[in-house]
Amino acid sequence: MDNVQLIDDNGKRNDGRGPEDLRPIKIEAGVLNNADGSAYIEWGKNKIIVGVYGPREMHQKHLQKPDRAIVQVNYSMASFSVDERKRPGQGRRELEISKILSEALERSIISNKYPRTSIDVFIEVLEANAGTRCAGLTAASVAMADAGIPMTGLIASCASGKVDGQVVLDLDKLEDNTGDADLPVGYIPLTDEVVLLQMDGHLTPQEFDKAFGLAKNACVEIHQLQRDALTKKYSQDPDEDNGEDQAGEEVVSE
């Protein structure tokens, strides 16, 4: 696989994108009736649905924080979401992704409003084609706003990386599997905070700066799609039960 050419002589990637192009992204807010908040995202060939419950009293008392809410993410991949049937249940990868996404989301909420509570976030990957942690985080942030959880700002997330020796934005599965590096970034444009940063592979400091800048700029674009999804939901549905909370107090006033 090492000798697969991922960028052709015209600078086009295997799916026709240029190096700095995102895959098409569609976000919908409030897609589930029985969750407090929800969102669905299609990002290239990724399909992910997120349901949020809470804030609700934390049943495991030893995990309660007396001064704040905590976020518990459960990232899960359906068996049919990948080429080779995935064994059901949480493996190491799912645990790792759940942990880093919990930490990122916790940074975006005004957690001292809800001491001793938990906000439970279920990220269900229905189809996976690389970048699911970023797409899942992007959708989870919309779902938390849809649940009316007060936030300092929405988290938008996107990976950049390196393929064929070139820095590119938003790697698809072929690029992720055979490329040189992958750099997932989670960013709150409103507060200019980076809440997720991982790196798999090798980048020089100059390549890192370029890749990081590309991902952050893409997050600004994705943030607008998140806002559009919330605006669409709440302008169509003004009588919705949780209408008073709408998209989280800080988010609606952005």
Q: Give me the residues that bind ligand CDP (CB under 6 A), please.
A: 82-83, 86, 93, 128-133, 173, 176
Q: How far is the CB of 91 from ligand CDP (least distance, A)?
A: 8
If you ran DSSP here, which 8-state letter would residue 99 be given?
H
The string over 42-78, giving b where at least 16 C-beta atoms fall within 10 Å of a residue's C-beta and e elsewhere, is bbbebbbbbbbbbbeebeeeeebeeebbbbbbbbbbb
State which residue, 130 or 203, has the beta carbon closest to ligand CDP: 130
Q: How far is the CB of 19 from ligand CDP (least distance, A)?
A: 18
Quote the CA–CA distance of 7 and 88 in Å, as a whole number.
Answer: 35
Cβ pair 253, 153 in contact under 8 A: no
State which residue, 32 or 82, has the beta carbon closest to ligand CDP: 82
State which residue, 131 or 153, has the beta carbon closest to ligand CDP: 131
Q: How far is the CB of 139 from ligand CDP (least distance, A)?
A: 13
Q: How far is the CB of 118 from ligand CDP (least distance, A)?
A: 24
State which residue, 86 or 233, has the beta carbon closest to ligand CDP: 86
Quote the CA–CA distance of 217 and 22 in Å, as a whole number.
Answer: 11
Burial class for 8, CB neighbours closer than 10 Å (0-12, 13-18, 19+): exposed
